[in-house]
Amino acid sequence: MATWITGSAGFAGGHLARELLGRGHDLFGIDRAGGRQQPAGVHGLDLELADPEAVAEALGQTQPDAIFHLAAQSSAAASFTDPGGTLRTNIDATVGLLEGIRRWGRRPRLLSVGSCEEYGPPGPGELPLDEGQLLRPASPYAVSKAAQTLLCLHYRRTYGLPIVSTRSFTHTGPGQSDRFVFSSFARQIAEAERGGAGVLKVGNLEATRDVSDVRDIARAYADLVALDDPPELVNVCGGRELKVRRGLELLLAQAQVEITVEQDPKRLRPSDVPRFVGDATRLRAAIGWAPETPIESTLSDLLEWWRAQLQPNMDEE
């Protein structure tokens, strides 16, 4: 089965590639973020997703049966610094991909990865968040992902493209950038262990998130695309609410040195959603999915990954 992954060299894209390779997919990866190396076993495609003619030509050459669209500027915090770039990156790539598919004329199954950030701050009685929830995006990133999802719904309903759009809730695990909260904590702990002690900088510790292991999320994506008639929109979440402070405590419990925690005003967003927890009813009905990895194991694997990433620097010293 020929399959595309956009954003294949990214965090979730890399884990998805390994999941799909294990299922026998012939993978083609598109990743324009600084020429990152493709995961082992993935054929790289040099392709500008915002160019529909180039997309249509590449589709004709590779004949994919399925496409996973993960390419994005994926940091809500970074979107406040570069809102225009975030909107252009996330929306233009989606339009180019959709138009390229439409011009090609065939109908590969497409999974478009959106975000729970599209929902924004929940009102009284609105948790857990289901797919019919009113959208109140609270960052340029959230606006861009809401637009991406709405575009995919439009192309499914108007042109009959077999698209399933996800609103994916927080996921973490080994390989995640330290732009994201739990990976930032893990890296700071690993760095403190190198130095014998340290200060760990934090932002808002009172927020809660519906957190899953990235490897479980990759499994859900693969299962959704395998459906003959997937839902048009589905939350991908485990329904497990974790306070950021509790995630930090779980990581600090594994630290091998003494660490002081300090709040850093630079790590606070101009606006932040206090609670995110999703309703996974539609996901369970579609594929029978449930998270398999305890959050303690996820965070332990993340910390071990950062220790390994920093180990070569220790050897050089």
Cβ 55 vs Cβ 6: under 8 Å? no
Domains of the chain: 2-172+211-236 (3.40.50.720), 181-209+240-273+293-316 (3.90.25.10)
Q: How far is CA 112 from CA 61, 141, 171, 254, in A?
A: 22, 15, 16, 36
Chain segment 33-66, per-residue pLDDT in tens? 556 789 899 999 999 999 999 999 999 999 999 9
CB 230 within 8 A of CB 156: no
Distance CA 49, CA 58 (A): 10
* Range 133-149 burial, b when 16+ CB lie within 10 A, else e: beeebbbbbbbbbbbbb
Measured on CA atoms in the order 274, 90, 22, 224, is the torsion positive or negative?
positive
Q: Are 269 and 121 in contact (CB under 8 A)?
A: no
What integer pLDDT is reported at residue 218 of this predicted model?
A: 98
CA distances 148 to 48, 155, 175, 182, 265, Å, are: 17, 11, 25, 26, 31
Check if the beta carbon of residue 47 is closer than 8 Å to that of residue 55.
yes
Per-residue pLDDT of the chain (317 residues; tens, 9 = 90+): 899 999 999 999 999 999 999 999 999 999 875 567 898 999 999 999 999 999 999 999 999 999 999 999 999 989 999 999 999 999 999 999 999 999 999 999 999 999 999 999 999 999 999 999 999 999 999 999 999 999 999 999 999 999 999 999 999 999 999 999 999 999 999 999 999 989 999 999 999 999 999 999 999 999 999 999 999 999 999 999 999 999 999 999 999 999 999 999 988 877 688 899 999 999 999 999 999 999 999 999 999 999 999 986 544 44
List pLDDT tens digits, range 273-299: 889 999 999 999 999 999 999 999 999
175 touches 17 (CB < 8 A): no
- The pLDDT, as a whole number, for residue 37 is 85
Token pair 């979730």 is at which residue?
12
Instruction: Count the neighbouring beta carbons within 10 Å of the beta carbon of residue 157.
Output: 11
Q: Which residues contact 207 (CB under 8 A, 6 or more apart)?
A: 243, 244, 272, 273, 274, 275
